[in-house]
Structure 1
Amino acid sequence: MTKIKPEEMLTNAFSNDHKALIGFVTAGDPSFEKSVSEILTLAQAGTDIIEIGIPFSDPVADGPVIQAADLRAFAAGMTTERVFDLVAAVRQKSQVPLALLVYLNNVFKYGYERFFKRCEELQIGGLIIPDLPAEERPEVLPFAQKYGCALIPLVAPTSGQRIPKVVAGASGFVYAVSSMGVTGTRQQIQTNLKQMIAEIRQATDLPIAVGFGIHTPAQAAEIATVADGVIVGSAIVKLIAENDSAVSAKLDDYVQQLKTAIN
């Protein structure tokens, strides 16, 4: 039997016209044990891909909600190595497709070869690296390809003519950024997503998921009419920040609402 590469697990989550729900959590927020529980809850509720953020001191793409989660995770003792320990704990109970949101300095300090080898061992399908421009991707890409880990490209509303370059040689899926600025819930998304996604489709056959600002089921349903998947981050992190005994039930209910809306 041919072993499926981790990156293929991401692409397969979009198969058969299924609209994928991608949920984001910050690793170690508010603690190692609770973070494992949150990820398993999201997986059991039907989240198709879970994006795990590695805490970083200067997360330039993230808004105040996720920045606060990073600080809580640091206070709980999270490091890059502990994030891999956390994923290993998740993998004891779930094979849900996983991706990491990580800033390049963390990968560089850990060592490219060592980092991607750990990703393969733990079946981590891809990395989203917000501060890795397309021009610098060749520095990292050989390691990603060696270990079957996607470098998931971020396409912004301003990418325009750069889209073919941004998505060239990519795998997994394309992360389409709905709005300029940092992550966080938004009442309205002003970008012409239909046009932006059409331009991405001309440049790649990969599935396209839209993130940044999506938090209501109605927004998710609207996005799903033009995209292959919906990414929800800050709204999930807000629920986790409440850190009460009902957090698992709240996450489960929220995921069910989103899944119903997009499919």
Structure 2
Amino acid sequence: MFFGSRSGTEMTSSQDKVVSMNRFRKGGPLSPLRQAEAYWTALRRGDDVPSRSQIDPRGLENILSHTFILERIAPGIARFRLAGSLVNGMAGMEVRGMPITAFFTTDARKQLSSAMEHMFETPAIVELELQIEAPRLRSPREARMLMLPLRSDLGDISRVLGVLVADDGETVTSQRFSISSIEMRAVGKATGTAGFKAKPRPDAATPAAKEERRDVNRPNPGFAETQARFKPERSILDEAKALLERSRAARPAAPADAPAAAPAKPKGAPHLRLVVSRD
């Protein structure tokens, strides 16, 4: 759809402009960037950066052709791990395994490497405004790229969720980008989240640490009742001595004027008695 004037009409020259409505029919070229950033923000936990394993293609179903995943392999260098059909179409080939700097001109590669290092180290969100080198007999086109940092399975920030959008007019030849502007936004702490803080452990030389080591099973009065502590168990010999002392204490004492009992005759050794009868 076009708005404008035709030759031979009475319209003024101020209305003699042409505005393409293709961009508005598709919801704007920046909608995939905003959708990806909203999805990435929803995956954050507190002020942490989402991990690569959290990315689900179903959450980016509408913009999969625009998305790509990068892996950091060296300072300022990242290669494609996955890429959508639009990204492959811009390169004119399968880009998996290629460095992202292959898309850019020589002068733009240094700017891109510096921006990626800032993204990994800070971390930060990087949004690039790009200019596509026009093929022959074609007008220059614009593109935008968004890069969102991710954590790897090892916990380091070395992955990127990226989105690329470009104006209409794809060609079968590979495209090269020059950078018009770079916007970097540091990943700040999410509001309304309370950070977890562990209880500081006392110094080993302080009296509090010695008391904690001496009574490690002491319950918390706010969560448990005070329990009686275990006593060491007495041995069998101690039990026998205690029993003997109780039996002696219960035995009555003999009177002083009582005659002494006759000593018992010692019993001889057992023997065999032989009886002989002559009857």
Q: State the TM-score, normalized to the length of structure 1.
A: 0.24
TM (norm. structure 2) is 0.23
Larger radius of gyration: 2
Higher helix share: 1
Higher RCO structure (Cα 8 Å, ≥6 apart): 1
